[in-house]
Chains A and B, each alone.
Chain A
Amino acid sequence: MRTPLFLLIWLGIAALAYAIAVALGNDYIFFAGYVVLQYVVLATAWNILGGYCGYVNFGSAAFFALGAYSTVAFYKYITENEFYRLPMPVLMLIGGAISGFVGFGMGYLTLRLRGAFFAIATLALAVVLQTLVVNWDYVGGSRGAYIVRPEEIAPIGSYIRYLFLVMLVLAVAAITIARLIEHSRLGYGFATIRDDELAAEACGVPTLKLKLIATTISGALMGMAGAPFPYYIGYLQPASTFGLDYAVNSIAMPLIGGTTSWIGPLIGAVLLGSLQQIATVTISSAVNLLIVGCLLVGFVIVAPNGVVGLVHTYLQRKPEDFVGRRRVGTDSPEAVP
């Protein structure tokens, strides 16, 4: 399928989703849907680095929070100086640029080493950025920051619908980017890194450059997902914005859905995101995080290729018919003689 057609189909699906949400007429749908869409973006962004290149990023929350706090900083600056109010897409681009830049810097420092170092460094990055934000009084420090959400916005109506729509467009964009990467030279390069980095390097694949591209794209998308968040939540606080739930969700969703193609994170995010929304309302938010943790551990042990892998096994088809590319070396028998 050509990319423009793919994009058109998904825009159609997005329009349909929006129409259904409007038809239901309950604003709660938009609040819940926003969170699910946000996770679609986070999971897809994580998968570009984690699923395609095989480098694990535990710092999703850090990139997400960077986007959110860049919005807070600009909001403060604008309200204090009575400057022209920046529209949401511009704020998202700024948040994305900052996160992408930080992703690039992180990658540059750690990606030349073994993969585990990168994973640990991302974990530590979250702690350090949180320390910086806690000590930065301009954006509220540890007390948190309030953002006044406008009640209405001109053509759409209530502001939450606008946020939902913005996130919907971002989610479609993220999926399209992921698919575009998957079927390009870049994607094949990523796959060689994941399967055997040393061999790829020996064949002349510019591994460091490709990894840096992946971290930058992935970080930027996470930052863009975070940028509208202060407007959604109204009160932004470091402890919850840097919370482990973003990190665990953006890892769990692709791994549960399946990491080899764009559809895996989408399936994982929609399944797990909706499940969590239901569990938060009906049980409690702590229990729903426990469910995510258990599902993550269960899936990585029992179904290493996620829902997509399970479907393939069920249909008895070879993965390449559907996924487009086969993982090399995943199901090899004992690696050690």
Chain B
Amino acid sequence: MIFSFDLLINAIISGILIGGFYAAVTAGVSLSFGILDIVNIAHPAFIILGSYVAYIVNTTLGVDPILTAIVAMPLFYVLGAGIYQIYYVAFERRGQESLRGLAFFFGLLFITEVTLVLYFGVDYRYVDARYIGPSWHFGMMDVPFRILVPCLVSLLLITALQLILTKTFIGRAIMAVAQDQLALRLMAVDPIRIKRIAFGISIATASLAGAFLIIIQPVEPSVGREYIGRVFAICVLGGMGSLPGTVIAAMLLGIVESLTSTFYGPSWAPAVSFGFLLLTLAVRPAGLLGR
């Protein structure tokens, strides 16, 4: 196959930028699935919810989607904490999280999607912001702002999360709850409370990721489904709960997907994440930076 050099360079750059965005999408799952062992397959649905919140505020008040998302984060936190409480009382405490807990999140995914379809229809929605449209040109490189801005904010978010996890008491308690609940209890910390906080944070990141999503591409309710495979592939490849690993894996997946869609056509891109996932599970289940 003949391919031009600038096509290759541009594919790699857009892959890295998209990878930054994927990192924000996956950060929540790295927290919930990677650290807390809660298989929240409804996470993409919350991301879509974030997209629609950004969309509604943007079209009615004209506020910047990222700003909206940051303001909405506490709301998402409360939503997440509430969902964890239900999950804990109904499943985790009874030891039924494997089968019924999964079905619960699957149902949540489904309810969110159908409700959005009923309310907004299946039309694609998009937002307006100053950085959507223009792009930077360096020689043959082409960097669209609509992907660059989410990528940079996403890296900020990941850094902030990493600092919270490693430097603050709550963050360390979250890391500890993954390792030994009993020991945490002996330190007079309530593991359920810590898990609730962590799950709330995980859902709060979905608000921001949703805003990024609708900045990058038009959104309709079932778009989230494409992200399920991606999100879990990145989470597993990154080493289940390691945020630096998540960023590396996300960029890797972004580059491979972008190369695939540049040289084989965009209709093949969704298969890439699954290939990644299966390969990781078969070869190195611990991931790149596994604990």
| Beta-carbon contact of A300 and B104 below 8 Å | yes
User: CB within 8 Å of A: which of B213-245?
Assistant: 222, 225-226, 228-229, 232-233, 236
Nearest Cβ on chain A to B257's Cβ, whole angstroms: 12
Chain A residues, Cβ within 8 Å of B222: 244
B: number of interface residues (CB 8 Å)? 52
Contact check, B98 vs A297: say whether CB atoms are below 8 A apart: no
Q: Is the CB of A127 within 8 A of B90?
A: no
Candidates B93, B113, B282; contact of A244 at CB < 8 Å? B113
Beta-carbon contact of B113 and A109 below 8 Å? no
Of B92, B103, B185, B232, which one neighbours A296 at CB under 8 angstroms?
B103
Let me know if A120 and B225 touch, CB within 8 A.
no
- Let me know if A116 and B33 touch, CB within 8 A: yes
Q: Does B41 contact A (CB under 8 A)?
A: yes
Contact with A along B66-107 (1 / 0, CB 8 A): 000000000000000000001000111111101110111011
B225 neighbours in A (Cβ, 8 Å): 127, 244
A121-B267 in contact given A259-B99, A332-B94 (Cβ < 8 Å): no
Within the complex, which residue of B103, B118, B265 is in contact with A286, where a contact is CB–CB below 8 Å? B118
Residue A337 is within 8 A (CB to CB) of chain B in the complex? yes
- Supposing A109-B281, A128-B271 touch, asked if A289 and B114 sit within 8 A by C-beta, the answer is yes
Q: How far is the CB of A183 from chain B (nearest CB, A)?
A: 22
Residue A219 at the B interface, CB < 8 A?
no
Chain A contact residue count (CB 8 A cutoff): 51
Whether B281 pairs with A121 at a CB distance below 8 angstroms is yes
Known: A113-B285, A251-B106, A300-B100. A121 touches B278 (CB 8 A): yes
- Shortest Cβ distance from A245 into B: residue: B110
> How far, in Å, is A247 (CB) from chain B's closest CB?
8
Distance in angstroms from B194 CB to nearest chain A CB is 13
A131–B115 CB distance below 8 A = no
Q: Are B110 and A293 in contact (CB under 8 A)?
A: yes
Given the contacts A120-B39, A125-B274, A244 and B110 also touching, CB distance less than 8 Å: yes
Main DSSP-derived SS at the B contact region: helix
Are B111 and A110 closer than 8 Å at their CB atoms? no
Inter-chain contact A116/B102, CB cutoff 8 Å: yes
Docked-complex contact B103 and A120, CB < 8 angstroms: no
Q: Which of A113, A119, A130, A330 contacts B96 (CB 8 A)?
A: A330
**Given A123-B228, A127-B225, A132-B271, do A334 and B281 touch, yes or no (CB 8 Å)?**
no
Say yes or no: A248-B110 contact (C-beta < 8 A), given A54-B99, A56-B99, A304-B100: yes
Task: A289 to B106: give the CA distance in the assembly, Å.
Answer: 13
Per-residue contact bits, chain A 319-337, to B (CB 8 Å; 1 contact, 0 not): 0000000000111101111
Query: B117 within 8 Å of A by Cβ?
Result: yes
Residues of B within 8 A of A (CB): 33, 39, 41, 86, 90-96, 98-100, 102-104, 106-108, 110-111, 113-115, 117-118, 181-182, 185, 191, 222, 225-226, 228-229, 232-233, 236, 265, 267-268, 270-271, 273-275, 277-278, 281-282, 285
Q: What are 16 contact pairs spanning A and B, CB under 8 A?
A: A54-B99, A56-B98, A56-B99, A116-B102, A121-B277, A123-B229, A124-B232, A244-B110, A248-B106, A251-B103, A286-B114, A290-B111, A293-B114, A294-B111, A332-B95, A334-B93
